[in-house]
Chain A
Amino acid sequence: MTELSSIDSASRDPWVPRPTRILRRKQETSDTFTLWLGVGEGGAPFAPGQFNMLYVFGVGEAAISISGDPDVAAPLVHTIRAVGTVTGRMQELKRGATIGVRGPYGNGWPIAEAKGKDVLIVGGGLGIAPLRPVIYFVLRHRSLFGRVTLLFGARSPSALVFRSELEVWRRRTDITTQVIVDHAARDWTGPVGVVPALIDSVPIDASKTIAMVCGPELMMRFTARSLLRRGLSAGDVFVSLERNMKCALGFCGHCQYRETFLCRDGPVVRLDRVESIFDRREV
């Protein structure tokens, strides 16, 4: 039997998590929080769009997208919503506690393909978290891309995640940032409604735009429909899908979306690959 105590010792067993320490935590909204995990000198390099399996000792694992800056190898940043047993317990962990990490897994957003083109990033709810790494990259390498548009939707102003960053992005003049909420009180002067409303009105050159969409599946479906109505082809639209994930290794079979193992050939999927099943029930 092998004892694994160092987080940098590469275990040959892909089932075994590496222990990491919570260096910092921040409560973003009532049920969403960000963790900064210590990953040692080598850092934890990743491609924007990838995820890790995060393990709470004795409770279980959850597949969580990496939400940090891809050009910053350490610490490892995750933004998590407490929706179940594992993530609920994770929300209770304090600074200094240990979380197991396996990964990174999955493919990433099509950054290379987007170079030289207009980039349209659409995030709904916590969907902004897997998109934040690609936003960081695009903003740092701004000249590589054409027009950059960020569109975000949330339930209400208080549910917005990364509010201070949204303000920073909004102030930049070299990108367009719009935020829409499902409903709001009097004091909100921004748009109210659903993300497709923003897509219907924002300037888009459909001949050279790559769209990256992440959020609840229903939101992605309607968003995709709006994007196609604006003239984008399904080959230019990328969505990040989510299914039950247990192993993230392509063994357990849970994350299959027809022929796609989302842990391996996803979670980022080009729309034209799944178009025929995207609005089908119970696939």
Chain B
Amino acid sequence: MFAERRHGAFFVCERAVGRRVILSRDRFGALLGALAADGYTLVGPTVRDGAIVHARIRGIEDLPEGWGEVQEAGMYRLRKRDDRALFGYAVGPRSWKESFFVPTLQLWRAHRQDGTFVVLEGARGAAPLALIGARSCDLHGVAIQDKVFRDGAFSDPDYEARRRGTFVVAVQCGQSGGTCFCVSMGTGPESTEGFDIALTEILDERGHRFVAEIGTERGLKFVEAVGFEPADDADVETALRIVAKTAGEMGRTLDTGGIRDLLYRNLEHPRWAEVADRCLACTSCTLVCPTCFCSSVEDKTDIDGEHAERTRRWDSCFTMDHSYVHGGSVRASIRSRYRQWLTHKLASWIDQFGSSGCVGCGRCITWCPVGIDITEEVAAIRATDGA
């Protein structure tokens, strides 16, 4: 059973999921503690090396209190806010990708025995993770990677193990990040599913608190454990207004109308050569992208050849190696590699997985050292379609 105050009276409701309550800042801190006590490993934002990154956090004390950021193409810097907001930023260079699809992984090791070899599977699984402060764009990113690694013809055992039981504390964005375009991609700024609890942070004269939307029974359990206040109409309205404001502040737009066919028919567009002049093939965009999933494997052996291991590590379609077939690389020019990345992300992905591969987080724009802007490239091709 569940109760909320509406129009000055308490209403007892049967279903808790979807309801909104108020968590004070302290209660939110207690929520983190409760998750940790229940065995979850907390992963959330924290300030490190001049950026807000995702890392293991102990609790509320590690969150980037009072920090925001300024982002533009090829530029990112932290800025001190004039309040104590815990989630007063948009997106940092890291996403949740590295928690589930880890950058390096020992897949297995093997040793020779009796003229054959024996394989030992790599260690599986970490404690269930609790994602703290997950943004809508990034949750879409996780769902997209689920399709790649877990829900296809094959399932990656390590990804599956790490994804099992993930607890999600989403945060509805209170500000856009300068290069954001989640509205164009239909991926935000409001999370409507895929969370246990979704928080909208409010700091005003009534106090520092969170409007918490209950997403699952599990989320309700934790909220009940730390205690809550009912949410009144005013608070709910404030929360919705915050998100609406963010939606109106997008730094970029991307017209996705017919984009798959647009890119497929413009493989020889002169724009590719223009962007190739700037692109360094540094792979930064693929590193920060929440959906890029390319990897490579390395097989190693020890000096006496008795032990072997296979490791998986992140890779990027921007490397020459990526398209290597005996004789040389199929995509030798940077032009062809940039074209591959963008066309895959926005077009082929739709054929492969039923949705765009881009979640509009803007990271590739921010973290490109020369400020190449995916939205600008698409707009340029669209403007001279068929050139």
Contacts and interface: CB of A to CB of B under 8 A. Distances in A.
Which secondary structure dominates chain A's binding surface?
loop
Given A59-B301, A251-B295, A252-B297, A15 B310 contact: yes
Contacts of A281: 336
A17 B117 CA distance: 10
A21 B315 CA distance: 32
B222 interface: no
B324 A247 contact: no
Contact of B108 (A5, A15, A251, A258): A15
Contacts of A100: 117, 119
A99 to B, nearest CB: 10
A69 B149 CA distance: 33
Using C-beta atoms within 8 Å of the partner chain, give the interface range for chain A.
Answer: 35 or more
B20 interface: no
B37 interface: no
B112 A57 contact: yes
Given A15-B107, A15-B310, A246 B121 contact: no
B205 interface: no
Interface stretch (B55-63, B152-160, B185-193): B152-160
Interface in B315-353: 315, 317, 322-326, 330-333, 335-336, 340, 343-344, 347-348, 351-352
Interface residues of B, number: 57
- Residue among B107, B156, B324, B331 with the most chain A CB within 10 A? B156
Contact of A57 (B123, B301, B323): B301
Contacts of B347: 259
A264 B153 contact: yes
A185 interface: no
Interface in B350-364: 351-352
Interface string B26-44: 0000000000000000000
B120 interface: yes
A61 B299 contact: yes
Contacts of B107: 13, 15-16
Interface string A76-116: 00000001100000000000101010000000000000000
B387 to A, nearest CB: 16
A11 B352 CA distance: 27
Contacts of B333: 282
B190 to A, nearest CB: 30
A61 B311 CA distance: 13
B108 A250 contact: no
Mostly, the B contact residues are mixed
A58 B153 contact: no
A251 B115 contact: no
B384 interface: no
B143 interface: no
Contacts of B312: 15, 252
Nearest to A86: B299
Contacts of A231: none
B296 interface: yes
Nearest to A4: B119
A243 B330 CA distance: 8
Interface in B66-117: 107-108, 110, 112-113, 115-117
Given A1-B121, A19-B117, A246-B297, 20 more contacts: A1-B120, A4-B120, A5-B116, A13-B107, A14-B155, A14-B157, A15-B108, A16-B107, A55-B299, A58-B301, A84-B326, A98-B116, A243-B325, A247-B295, A251-B149, A252-B297, A253-B295, A258-B343, A259-B347, A283-B330
